Amino acid sequence: MDDKSFTVLDLLDLDLKEQNALDIRCIGGRKGLSREISVPDLNRPGLALSGFFESFAWQRLQIFGRGENAYLKKLEEEGKTETYEKLFSYPIPACIFTHNLAPGRDFFKYAEAAGCPLIQTDLPSSEFTSRILRVLSDIFAPQTSLHGVLVEVYGIGILITGDSGVGKSETALELIERGHRLVADDVVEIRCVNGSILMGQGANKVIGHHMEIRGLGIINITHLFGVGAIRDKKQIQLVCGLEEWDSEKVYDRIGTDEKTLEILGVQVPMLEIPVKPGRNIPIIIETASMNERLKKMGYHSAKEFNQNILRWLESENARAVYFNRDDYL
Amino acid sequence: MTERLVTIKNRAGIHARPAALIVQTASKFAAKIWLEKGSDKINAKSIMGIITLGASFGTPIRITADGADEEGAAAAIEALFLSRFEEE
């Protein structure tokens, strides 16, 4: 979550599709749309409605399902509005009515007066609960942004990092030309979902999928290469750090040492790729991606290779022992 | 031209890790460096070459260096063999 607070209006503005859609609309208390949602959690206000306000989790979104709504109806018939008064004395971020339900007139009146937004959804409570928790945990997930290019190569999300001018964008451009996909250029916003998955996306939808190439200026990847060449977000599974070739530095020649980079507490495999004329970086990255897939399938080229060498050396050893023995045969 | 004779002292022989170590060390020198096992002679700056040598425990290896810094190069490579490639 960035410094900017997340308000009820932001929740209504979220453009979520298909299985993530919340189907919400505001039915009252518009004054309060600027209220902040500060906790990624929900509360069923049953106990509060019955008059018990101890430990009332007012900071959370309040979900009114069929049960709560039936109880509200009963309260309204009996004219017991003091509960409403008490309820809205708390700065509740929003009351959400599921199953397309709506509260009675009195409830509306008190909500309007208190400036508490009333929100309605078509979804049943259980489905809505799981969706909104998913959405909120996404929004409240730890977040950072890194300088680099995020591309999807053979299905693996690769973050290309390196100092400016080392050729990150040019490398990405060549990868796109070769049929891979651009997720974000320059600034990659990263969210840690579920504590272990790093989702990367462009920092801004407006800037999204444009690239700056020295000598060309700003180009629009979607228009130039088509929608097949872009992707909105992708899990970061590998980091390729490009750097100018340093003859003093020792680069990995075998591939059995596994370096990782920590992003938001998650260790991501990292390769250091030295750049110099004559080294075709896009092809190296393509190969790295395929190698990463092989590793995920359980085949580690470098380790397997070394194991074979060790076995072979061992057998040579064994043979030497026999050949040197006088009583052999 | 400088020559050194060594025997492989680590049990596992020259597998990928020691080979990488040799190449790293050899690359620091300008001199041409070779490793010889029997009739095979390979460039000590090539990982795959060193591995295919199949140098197992007890194999005698001849280190040859040729160039301006050949003395240092031969000594550095020899030191690696003597230190058992920091294994065991």
Q: Decide: B84 and B45 in contact? Cβ < 8 Å.
A: no
| Cross-chain Cβ contact A254/B16 below 8 Å | yes
Cβ separation A313–B13 shorter than 8 A: yes
What the block records as the tokens of A316 is 């040579």
Number of domains in chain B: 1
- Give this complex's ipTM: 0.75
Residues in chain B with CB shorter than 8 Å from the CB of A254 are 16-17, 19-20, 47
Question: Out of A256, A302, A316, whose CB is closest to B56?
Answer: A316
| Inter-chain touch B15–A306, beta carbons under 8 Å | yes
Q: Is A323 on the interface with B (CB under 8 A)?
A: no
CA–CA distance, A138 with A14 (Å, rounded to integer): 12
Q: Give catalytic residue positions of A.
A: 147, 168, 186, 253
Q: How far is CA A140 from CA A133, B45, B63, in A?
A: 10, 52, 62
Question: Does B15 qualify as catalytic in the annotation?
Answer: yes
- How far is the C-alpha of A49 from the C-alpha of A72, rounded, in Å? 8
Asked if residue B87 has pLDDT above 90, the reply is: no
Dihedral angle, C-alpha A309, A311, A315, A318, nearest 10 °: 120
**What's the pLDDT at A61?**
93
Of B4, B6, B10, B15, which residue is the catalytic one?
B15
Amino acid A228: pLDDT = 93
Residue A193 near residue A157 (C-beta atoms within 8 A) = no
Query: Cα–Cα distance between A81 and A58 in angstroms, integer?
Result: 18
Asked if A254 contacts B47 with a C-beta cutoff of 8 angstroms, the reply is: yes
Taking any CB pair shorter than 8 Å as contact, residues of chain B touching chain A are 12-17, 19-20, 23-24, 47, 51, 54-58
Q: Does residue A236 contact residue A201 with C-beta atoms inside 8 Å?
A: no
CATH number at residue B50: 3.30.1340.10
Q: How confident is the model at residue A324, as a pLDDT? A: 62
Measure CB to CB from residue A317 to each of B17, B19, B56 and give the nearest one. Answer: B56
Q: Which residues contact A62 (CB under 8 A, 6 or more apart)?
A: A42, A43, A44, A45, A92, A94, A95, A96
Q: From CA A29, how far away is CA A102, in angstroms rounded?
A: 13
Within an 8 Å CB–CB cutoff, is residue A314 touching chain B?
yes
Residue numbers of the domain that contains B14: 2-86
Q: Which of A253, A313, A320 sits opposite B15 (nearest CB)?
A: A313
pTM value is 0.75
Residues sharing a CB contact under 8 Å with residue B27, sequence separation 6 or more, in sequence order = B45
pLDDT (mean) for B20-31: 90
**Cβ pair B54:A313 closer than 8 A:** yes
pLDDT at residue B39, rounded to an integer:
85
- A218 strand-pairing partners: A212
Tens digit of pLDDT at every position of chain A (329 positions) = 445 688 888 888 887 777 778 888 899 888 888 899 988 899 999 999 888 999 999 999 999 999 999 999 988 888 888 888 889 999 999 999 999 998 888 888 899 999 999 999 999 999 999 999 988 888 888 889 899 999 999 999 999 999 888 889 999 999 999 999 999 998 899 999 888 899 999 887 777 788 888 888 889 999 999 999 999 999 999 999 999 988 778 788 888 778 999 999 999 999 999 998 888 999 999 999 999 999 999 988 888 888 888 888 888 777 766 666 554 44
pLDDT for position A180: 96
- Report the alpha-carbon distance of residue A151 to residue A136 in Å, rounded: 26
Instruction: Determine whether A17 is exposed, middle or buried from the number of CB atoms within 10 Å of its CB (0-12, 13-18, 19+).
Output: exposed
Q: Do A302 and B16 touch (CB under 8 A)?
A: yes
Q: Which of A250, A309, A320 sits opposite B51 (nearest CB)?
A: A309
Establish if A312 touches chain B: CB-CB under 8 angstroms: yes
- Do B15 and A309 make contact, defined as CB atoms within 8 angstroms? yes
Which amino acid is it at A78? Answer: E
> Are the beta carbons of B55 and A313 separated by less than 8 Å?
yes
Contact between B26 and B33 (Cβ < 8 Å): yes
Could you give the 3-state DSSP secondary structure of residue B83?
Answer: coil
Contact A253/B at CB under 8 A: yes
Q: How far is the C-alpha of A157 from the C-alpha of A180, rounded, in Å?
A: 10
Q: Is A321 on the interface with B (CB under 8 A)?
A: no
Buried b (16+ CB within 10 A) or exposed e, B68-81: eebeebbebbbebb
